[in-house]
Structure 1
Amino acid sequence: MAAAPSMENPRRLLHGFFSFELCKELEFIHRSSGTVGYRPSVFSTTLPHLAATNCGHFILPFLPLRDRLKDAVEETFGCEFELFVEFTGLISWCKGASIGWHSDDNKPYLRQRDFAAVCYLNNHEKDFRGGLFHFKDGEPSSVAPIAGDVLIYTADERNIHCVDEVIDGERLTLTLWFTRDCSHDEDAKVINILSQRIQYEPDSFLPLPASSTMYWFQKDGSGFDVRHARSYLMGDCILLGEMKFLSKNS
């Protein structure tokens, strides 16, 4: 049985929490539905996004894992009342992505966050270089991502942390935040979006086209649309906003 987390720096690293097969399934969902994330060189897939784009069937693999994670957080930190999931997101950190020292509740609009869970879906030094997770104080002080491992911690100033810049490859995680405040329950938001889609499009069972950003390939601080990769490699450039085609021979 794992030792109780320190009260000074409440956190726990759970090894082999879920299977390699589930890692690959979540990676597939992200590749199919991801869109531009909240930071440069970051892409994300959230449950509200899946619901809004008529990809509700992709939500199903998340549900048992979310329940397991919520149970683990409640047990680890001795929560007296049931927690609510505030956010669920697949997040890929591409080359150049990083984040400095912070706590996860460090903005007024994030104060509802009480606990965090970071689920690693691929491996440090195998799938990417850089991207180590560091805590400012306490142990473990650093975490090297391994597929299937989960890091859980309180979202307050007792667990200030950062992520090193990704040097190469792509670092993929499933990140969840939990709250004691039922008004921030993510499930209620997702159900509301799904019910609206069923109400206004009752005969639609096919997913809507994914965001065009899913085709964006990050390269050396810039990037290109993979649908135009052949033209790009030939030295041509397509400016989609102005519908212009620029050739290296122009």
Structure 2
Amino acid sequence: MAIAAASPPPTATEDNVRLLLPGFLSPETCKELEFVHRSCGTAGYRPSVVSTSLPHLAATGCGHLLLPFVPIRERLRDAVESFFSCHFDLFVEFTGLVSWCKGSSIGWHSDDNKPYLRQRAFTAVCYLNNHGKDFKGGLLKFQDGEPSTVIPVAGDAVIYTADNRNVHCVDEVTEGERLTLTLWFTRDSSFDEDPKLLSFLSQTSLSYEPADQNSYIPLPASDNMYWFSYDQSGFDIRCARIHILGFSFRASSDEDSKSTSGAPADDPIELLGKPLRIGRADDVFGKIFANSLHALQVVQFYYWKAPELAARRNQTTGGSETVCYPTIQVQQSSGMELPLPCNHGLAQTIFGSYSNVDSVIEWDDVVLALAMWENYSEELKRKLSIFLPNWLSNGTIFVLDPSEPTQVCGEGN
């Protein structure tokens, strides 16, 4: 969860109500947040948008994936409080990852332009990928003041007031997927998102004891949350994400394949919440995943860590290191693909092509990625089990050192 260091921002003036912070997030942090979003995201609040909110993570058994956000939220709040001279006065109203996909845009507006948004005081947007390389269009433009246009660069952040001093728009995304981390800050404590998050976390199988084995397996939300509608067509986001990476969901056994082949037309999508496998061309990975999100997280993790996996494989080939792979059989079969409704052509058009997808994969690397994902998830769950009592005691989420003994802190953070 490395985060790039940033110099203290200058102080805002009446004529200077926004600030660009280059390199605010490290490249590795951008990739980690991309992994979280592309393995957990659901249909968004606007057409052609996919979103991942922190309450959604907590409610779907992925509360441990909140941890990468915690230091970022604190640093952004510090930057906003310093630049706008409102020290110790702000609460985080919303934290979320957002994809602006092909066809998405928003016209001129301020972020507090609705009666139910009046509590918003400041906005922070962090870019997780690059304009021109990963997507086209999607420039952030302001009606007045400087900078008047922000070209998204991975790691950069922009902070600004949410009122009519920063009326802005986002140009239509014409290709690819524009990834952002967006936060809104408020001075009204009744809109603080932390109490709601803590309530979710305390109710979703988290305890103060070490996490149970496999308790990090994600639990899908209702199927309609993953349905991406577009004109008269659409697709399931989980199917689309796995398909664009060259995989498909397969039945967990040949018997399951036979039983699902005759499933009613309105039922197949429910198979995504049941045990399944993944395949690629005629290869079927032997691991049975608890559900589609479980499989999708492992595949997305594989692509996040692909350079590291390839480097370890090359070191092994050169004789400088030995990598022990768990034994998971890869078999050949062409009759096990689940009969899932998904307009793959539309999904390719909306999401575009991922630049790091290879036509050939190493199944041994997938096996290693699975083990690494489990270790990554177990470690986050362990840290969360340490942090949660302190967070609940203080009623707020804040950075803690996991190496220090757990203790009940006083009020504040």
Which residue pairs with 1:209 in the alignment? 219
Q: How many residue pairs get matched? A: 238
Secondary structure of 2:174's aligned partner: strand
Letter in 2 for 1:103: S
In 1: Cα distance, 2:72 partner to 2:179 partner? 16
Q: How far off its partner does 1:134 sit?
A: 0.3
Residue 107 (structure 1) aligns with: 114
Q: CA deviation at 1:206?
A: 3.5
> What residue number does 1:20 align with?
27
Shift of 1:196: 2.0
The one-letter code of the counterpart of 1:92 is: S
Q: Which has the larger radius of gyration?
A: 2
SS of the residue aligned with 1:68? helix
The alpha-carbon deviation at position 73 of structure 1 amounts to 0.4
User: What amino acid does structure 1 have at the position aligned with 2:235?
Assistant: F
1:157 to 140, 148, 164: 164
Between the aligned partners of 2:45 and 2:186, the Cα distance in structure 1 is 21
Counterpart CA distance in 2 for 1:125 and 1:144 is 9
Deviations 1:37-80 (A, max 9, x none): 10000000000000111110100000011100000000010004
2:12 partner letter: P
Counterpart mapping for 1:1-250 below 5 A = 3-198=10-205, 205-211=215-221, 212=223, 222-225=233-236, 227=239, 241=266
- Cα deviation for residue 18 of structure 1 reads 1.2
Contact 1:239/1:245, CA 8 A, preserved across alignment: no
RMSD of aligned alpha carbons: 3.0
Change in Cα spacing, 1:128 to 1:216, as seen in structure 2 (3 Å) is: farther
- Equivalence for 1:235: none
Unaligned ranges ≥5, structure 1: 231-237
Q: TM-score, normalised by structure 1?
A: 0.85
Residues 25 and 218 of structure 1, relative CA distance in 2, 3 Å threshold:
farther
Give the Cα separation in 2 of the matches to 1:241 and 1:15.
Answer: 48
Gaps of at least 5 residues in structure 2 are: 1-7, 247-262, 269-338, 342-413
Structure with greater helix share of residues: 2
Residues 145 and 214 (structure 1 numbering): CA distance in 2 closer, same or farther, change over 3 Å? farther
Larger strand percent: 1
Please state how far the C-alpha of 1:209 moved relative to its aligned partner: 2.8
How far apart in 2 are the matches of 1:107 and 1:164? 21
**Cα distance in structure 2, aligned partners of 1:239 and 1:27:** 35
Distance 1:199 1:12, change over 3 A: closer
- Percent identity at matched positions? 63
Distance 2:157 2:121 in 1: 17
Q: Tell me which moved more, 131-140 or 213-222.
A: 213-222
TM-superposed deviation, 1:215:
6.7
Greater RCO (CA < 8 Å, at least 6 residues apart):
1
Other structure's SS at 1:198 match = coil
- Paired with 1:64 and 1:160, the residues of 2 have a C-alpha distance of 29
Q: Take 1:47 and 1:88, find their aligned partners in 2: how far apart are those partners?
A: 6
The amino acid that maps onto 2:134 is: D
Partners in 1 of 2:118 and 2:232 — Cα distance? Answer: 33
> 8 Å contact 2:42–2:52 — kept in the other structure?
yes
SS of residue matched to 1:174: strand
Which string of whole-angstrom CA distances, capped at 9 and with x for unpartnered residues, describes residues 202-235 of structure 1? Answer: 97824343345787678899543464869xxxxx
Helix, strand or coil at the partner of 1:96: coil
Which residue identity lines up with residue 219 of structure 2 in the other structure?
P
Partner-residue secondary structure (3-state), 2:183 = strand
